[in-house]
Structure 1
Amino acid sequence: MDLYTIPVKNVRGVGTQKTEELLLIGIQTVAQLIEYYPFRYEDYQLRDLTEVKNGEKITVQGTIYSEPLLQMYGKTKSRLTCKVVVENFFVTAVWFNRHFLKDKLKLGQEIILTGKWDQGRRHLSVSESEFPGQGTTRIGTLQPVYSVAGPITQQWMRKTMMQAFSQFGEMIEENLPQDLKLKHNFLPRKQAIYHIHHPVDITEGKHARARVVYEEFFFFQLKIQAYRALSRSKAEGSAFAVDLPAVRAFVRALPFVLTDSQKHVIGEIMHDLQQPYSMNRLLQGDVGSGKTIVAAVALFAVIRTGAQGALMVPTEILAEQHYRSLTRLFEPYGISVGLLTGSLTERIRRGIISSLQTGELQILIGTHALIQEDVYFHNLGLVVIDEQHRFGVQQRSILRRKGLHPDVLTMTATPIPRTLAITAYGDMDVSSLRELPKGRKPIRTYSVNHNMLERVLGFISREVLAGRQAYLICPLIEESEKVDVQNAMDLHAQLTQHFPDFRVGLLHGRLPTVEKDHVMREFSENKIQVLVSTTVIEVGVDVPNATIMVVYDAQRFGLSQLHQLRGRVGRGEHASYCILIAEAKSEVSKERLKVMTETNDGFEIARRDLELRGPGDYFGTKQSGLPEFRLADLVSDFEVLELARDDVAELLMRTDFWTGLEYLAFRQFLQREQIFGEGLID
Structure 2
Amino acid sequence: MELKFIKGIGEKRAEAFKKIGVNRLEDFAEFIPRDYIKRISIYELNHHTEKLIAISGKVTNVRLPKKSNHPIVLSLTDETGTAEIPIFGRNEFRSKQFRINQDYIFCGKPEFTFYSDYPRINYRDHLPINLNENDDLVFLKYPYLPVYELPGELKKTWIKILSLSKILFSAFKYLSRENILDKETIPENIQKELNLSSRKNAVLRINFPLSESDIEISRRRLAFEELFYLQILMSIRKKINKNETKGIEFSYDDEKFREEFKKEINFTLTDSQEAVIKEILNDMKSKNVMNRLLQGDVGSGKTIVALYCMLIAVKNGFQAAIMCPTEILAEQHYKYISEICRKLDIKIELLTGSIKGKIRKEVYSRIESGEAQIIVGTHTLVQEKIKFHKLGFAVIDEQHKFGVLQRAKFKEKGYNPDMLIMTATPIPRTLSLAYYGDLEISTIKELPKNRIPIKTFLRTEEEKKNVTDFITDEIKKGRQAFIVYPIIDESEKLDLKSAIKEYEFLKNSVFKGIETGLLHGKMKQDEKEEIMSKFKKNEIKILVSTTVIEVGIDIPNASVMLIEEAQRYGLSQLHQLRGRIGRGSEQSYCILLTNNKSEETLSRLKILCESTDGFYIAEKDLELRGPGEFYGVKQSGEISFSCTDLYKDKDLLESAKKISEQIIEEDMHLRMGKNILIKEQFLMKYNDSINLINVA
- Give me the TM-score of the superposition, normalised by structure 2: 0.75
- Mapping of 1:132-143 within 5 angstroms? 136=137, 141-143=142-144
Letter in 2 for 1:28: N
Larger Rg: 1
Contact 1:213–1:632 (Cα < 8 Å) also in 2 = yes
Structure 2 residue corresponding to 1:625, chosen from 634, 637, 640: 637
- Work out the CA distance in 2 between the residues paired with 1:611 and 1:165: 36
Q: 1:652 offset after TM fit, Å?
A: 0.6
Structure 1 residue corresponding to 2:245, chosen from 226, 229, 235: 235
Helix, strand or coil at the partner of 1:168: coil
- TM-aligned CA distance change 1:122 to 1:209, over 3 Å: farther
Q: 1:278 offset after TM fit, Å?
A: 2.8
2:334 pairs with 1:323? no
Contact 1:538–1:565 (Cα < 8 Å) also in 2 = yes
2:225 pairs with 1:215? yes
Structure 2 residue corresponding to 1:195, chosen from 201, 205, 214: 205
Helix, strand or coil at the partner of 1:531: strand
Contact 1:247–1:297 (Cα < 8 Å) also in 2 = no
- Mapping of 1:78-93 within 5 angstroms? 78-80=73-75, 93=83
- Work out the CA distance in 1 between the residues paired with 2:185 and 2:77: 54
The residue number in structure 1 matching 2:589 is: 577
- TM-aligned CA distance change 1:335 to 1:118, over 3 Å: same
Q: 1:40 offset after TM fit, Å?
A: 4.0
The residue number in structure 2 matching 1:666 is: 678
2:310 pairs with 1:296? no
- Work out the CA distance in 2 between the residues paired with 1:309 and 1:530: 36
Contact 1:474–1:488 (Cα < 8 Å) also in 2 = no
- Work out the CA distance in 2 between the residues paired with 1:518 and 1:35: 52
- TM-aligned CA distance change 1:577 to 1:93, over 3 Å: same
Structure 1 residue corresponding to 2:544, chosen from 532, 539, 554: 532
- Work out the CA distance in 2 between the residues paired with 1:185 and 1:244: 55
- Work out the CA distance in 1 between the residues paired with 2:413 and 2:427: 29
- TM-aligned CA distance change 1:621 to 1:465, over 3 Å: closer
Q: 1:273 offset after TM fit, Å?
A: 1.8
2:471 pairs with 1:460? yes
- Work out the CA distance in 2 between the residues paired with 1:658 and 1:242: 39
- Work out the CA distance in 2 between the residues paired with 1:17 and 1:124: 38
Q: Which moved more, 1:463-472 or 1:91-100?
A: 91-100
Structure 2 residue corresponding to 1:77, chosen from 72, 90, 115: 72
Q: 1:409 offset after TM fit, Å?
A: 1.3
Q: 1:659 offset after TM fit, Å?
A: 3.7
The residue number in structure 1 matching 2:532 is: 520
Contact 1:46–1:139 (Cα < 8 Å) also in 2 = no
Provide the aligned C-alpha RMSD in A.
5.2
- TM-aligned CA distance change 1:210 to 1:370, over 3 Å: closer
The residue number in structure 2 matching 1:3 is: none
Q: 1:212 offset after TM fit, Å?
A: 2.0
The residue number in structure 1 matching 2:664 is: 652
Structure 1 residue corresponding to 2:28, chosen from 30, 33, 37: 33
Q: 1:542 offset after TM fit, Å?
A: 0.7
Aligned pair count reads 655
Q: 1:202 offset after TM fit, Å?
A: 2.5
- TM-aligned CA distance change 1:572 to 1:159, over 3 Å: same
Helix, strand or coil at the partner of 1:26: coil
- Work out the CA distance in 1 between the residues paired with 2:500 and 2:657: 47
Contact 1:46–1:58 (Cα < 8 Å) also in 2 = no
- Work out the CA distance in 1 between the residues paired with 2:274 and 2:188: 40
**Identity across matched positions, percent:** 33
The residue number in structure 1 matching 2:91 is: none
- TM-aligned CA distance change 1:388 to 1:676, over 3 Å: closer
Which whole-Å deviations, capped at 9, do the CAs of 1:154-205 have from their partners, x for residues lacking one? 3343233223211225x61223233322221222333433433444433244
2:287 pairs with 1:276? yes
- Work out the CA distance in 1 between the residues paired with 2:109 and 2:365: 78
Contact 1:340–1:370 (Cα < 8 Å) also in 2 = no
Contact 2:564–2:594 (Cα < 8 Å) also in 1 = yes
- Mapping of 1:325-474 within 5 angstroms? 326-327=340-341, 336=346, 338-340=348-350, 363-365=374-376, 379-388=390-399, 400-423=411-434, 428-433=439-444, 435-474=446-485
- Work out the CA distance in 1 between the residues paired with 2:27 and 2:666: 32
Helix, strand or coil at the partner of 1:550: strand
- TM-aligned CA distance change 1:471 to 1:31, over 3 Å: same
Helix, strand or coil at the partner of 2:179: helix
- TM-aligned CA distance change 1:442 to 1:93, over 3 Å: same
Helix, strand or coil at the partner of 1:666: helix
Letter in 2 for 1:531: L
Q: 1:520 offset after TM fit, Å?
A: 1.7
Contact 1:54–1:117 (Cα < 8 Å) also in 2 = yes
- Mapping of 1:11-160 within 5 angstroms? 19-20=14-15, 22-23=17-18, 26-44=21-39, 52=47, 71-74=63-66, 77-80=72-75, 93-94=83-84, 116=110, 124-125=119-120, 136=137, 141-147=142-148, 149=154, 150-151=158-159, 152-160=163-171
Helix, strand or coil at the partner of 2:475: helix
The residue number in structure 2 matching 1:108 is: none
Q: 1:577 offset after TM fit, Å?
A: 0.9
- TM-aligned CA distance change 1:408 to 1:124, over 3 Å: same
Letter in 1 for 2:72: K
Contact 1:259–1:437 (Cα < 8 Å) also in 2 = no
Higher relative contact order (CA 8 A, sep 6+): 2
- TM-aligned CA distance change 1:385 to 1:146, over 3 Å: closer
- TM-aligned CA distance change 1:603 to 1:382, over 3 Å: same
Q: Which moved more, 1:250-259 or 1:145-154?
A: 250-259
Helix, strand or coil at the partner of 1:269: helix
The residue number in structure 2 matching 1:285 is: 296
- Work out the CA distance in 1 between the residues paired with 2:668 and 2:378: 48
Structure 1 residue corresponding to 2:652, chosen from 623, 640, 664: 640
The residue number in structure 2 matching 1:206 is: 216
Q: Which moved more, 1:668-677 or 1:540-549?
A: 668-677
Contact 1:656–1:663 (Cα < 8 Å) also in 2 = no
Contact 1:420–1:634 (Cα < 8 Å) also in 2 = yes
The residue number in structure 2 matching 1:550 is: 562
Q: 1:378 offset after TM fit, Å?
A: 5.6
- Work out the CA distance in 1 between the residues paired with 2:385 and 2:101: 86
- Work out the CA distance in 1 between the residues paired with 2:25 and 2:251: 56
The residue number in structure 2 matching 1:165 is: 176
- Work out the CA distance in 2 between the residues paired with 1:284 and 1:424: 14
- Work out the CA distance in 2 between the residues paired with 1:246 and 1:293: 18
Q: 1:270 offset after TM fit, Å?
A: 3.2
- Work out the CA distance in 2 between the residues paired with 1:40 and 1:345: 51
Letter in 2 for 1:77: I
- TM-aligned CA distance change 1:326 to 1:182, over 3 Å: farther
- TM-aligned CA distance change 1:662 to 1:308, over 3 Å: same
Q: 1:15 offset after TM fit, Å?
A: 6.3
Unaligned runs of 5+ in 2: 88-93
Helix, strand or coil at the partner of 1:632: coil
Q: 1:576 offset after TM fit, Å?
A: 0.6
- TM-aligned CA distance change 1:185 to 1:657, over 3 Å: farther
Letter in 1 for 2:205: H
Which whole-Å deviations, capped at 9, do the CAs of 1:503-529 have from their partners, x for residues lacking one? 434434454433432332232232333
Q: Which moved more, 1:429-438 or 1:160-169?
A: 429-438
- TM-aligned CA distance change 1:264 to 1:639, over 3 Å: farther
- Work out the CA distance in 1 between the residues paired with 2:582 and 2:451: 8
Contact 1:258–1:437 (Cα < 8 Å) also in 2 = yes
